[in-house]
Amino acid sequence: MDTNITFKDIKKNNYSSIYHLIYQNEKLSKQEIANQLHLSLPTVTQNLVRLEEENLIAKSGQFESSVGRRATAYTICPKARISIGVEILKKKVHILAIDLLGVVIEKKELSIDYSNVDSYFKEVSDAVEAFISSLNVEKRKILGIGFAVQALTATDGQTITYGKILNCTGLDIHVFSQHLTYPCMFFHDAKCAATTELWIRNDIGDAVYLSIGTHLGGAIIINDQIYMGKDGFSGTVEHMTIDPEGLPCYCGKRGCMETLCSVSALLEEDESLEFFFQQVRSGIPSYLERWNSFLDHLALSINNIHLVINREFILGGHITPYLNESDIQLLHEKVDERTAFPSNESFIYISRSPEYGVTIGAAIPFIQSFLNSI
């Protein structure tokens, strides 16, 4: 046993374990907490009082009991802290607030064209500040603001290291944080989508996450963590060359997976996903053909990545609501036709993330570090 553990550490540990046990269970009684954590009732009581004083937990009714006194139920206060997610897109900005359980409590959408000038950053910041004011919560409860960007970001979230889509390489978080009074961080949008998936599911382990939106974004998940690699571009399969003679990609090269497997590659100008899939599901031959050829390219890419990482693949992004099980089955068949290692086991799944998964994923890191600090 580590002899450096002090009495203070044990006290902090009990406090923390009790909070996290209540967090994981919707409601618990004092006795159940004592039983599950093997603690004495006075120790549990003392910590419950402290947690209640700090407004982190609250009494919430009583448990039914056939004998004796009914036990008081304790539950966490989800709104004890709030985190803000902002998704920066070319023509839009999504803003939302989540509570400690990751539940969206309010959201807003702005139509504003991205531009690398202070008036843009000020306008977005003012909109975020006004959004926060409309929540009517104490300032100290706001943990921070995460900005999801279609770009690679430094591990500390303070700068953009590669941002060709919005032409914002080198951008410092200061452009927003100088107008805001909360901690601010940048996060890569594909990583945000994967973060939300990890938050919802605790059984992922290792997986490849493909966020298929206007642009394609990949993320590698290892041990339930997003693996960034030495320079932070692990998993950016969107720039893997599929066709050396192919169409130009925004990265400056040709025939990247992005040019064949993104929503921009699938749709024609002014076509919407909704319209496209209506035609596909109605069996219109020309649309079926386009969808089939998209799945061919996706299968080729998935097979290549699968040979490097023999793990589950999760398909997320804006395309998710339109995908169905027969698409996934067809994709499996197409991968099987190509691969050196055909298998009957399915390994491609549709994401379980809710709508606004990217924006939620930009807010989650602040919640995670707060929960870790208790």
Q: Residue 130, SS3? A: helix
Shorter beta-carbon distance to Zn ion: residue 100 or 256: 256
Q: Minimal CA–CA distance to 298: which of 318, 313, 282, 280? A: 313
- Least separation in angstroms between CB 239 and Zn ion: 4
- Least separation in angstroms between CB 310 and Zn ion: 25
Q: Residue 361, SS3? A: helix
Shorter beta-carbon distance to Zn ion: residue 239 or 306: 239
- Least separation in angstroms between CB 240 and Zn ion: 8
- Least separation in angstroms between CB 140 and Zn ion: 43
User: What distance in Å separates the CA atoms of residue 266 and residue 246, rounded to the nearest whole number?
Assistant: 15
Residues making contact with Zn ion (CB under 5 A): 239, 249, 251, 253, 256
Q: Minimal CA–CA distance to 217: which of 252, 267, 257, 186? A: 257
**Helix axis angle, 41-53 to 30-37, nearest 10°:** 120
User: What distance in Å separates the CA atoms of residue 274 and residue 291, rounded to the nearest whole number?
Assistant: 13
- Least separation in angstroms between CB 238 and Zn ion: 6
Shorter beta-carbon distance to Zn ion: residue 11 or 253: 253
Contacts of 136 (CB under 8 A, 6+ apart): none
- Least separation in angstroms between CB 159 and Zn ion: 21
Q: Minimal CA–CA distance to 42: which of 56, 33, 72? A: 33
Shorter beta-carbon distance to Zn ion: residue 180 or 237: 237
Half-sphere exposure in the Cβ direction for 310 (13 Å, CA): 7
User: Rounded to a whole number, what is the distance in angstroms from the first to the last CA of the chain?
Assistant: 23
Shorter beta-carbon distance to Zn ion: residue 97 or 256: 256
Shorter beta-carbon distance to Zn ion: residue 20 or 253: 253
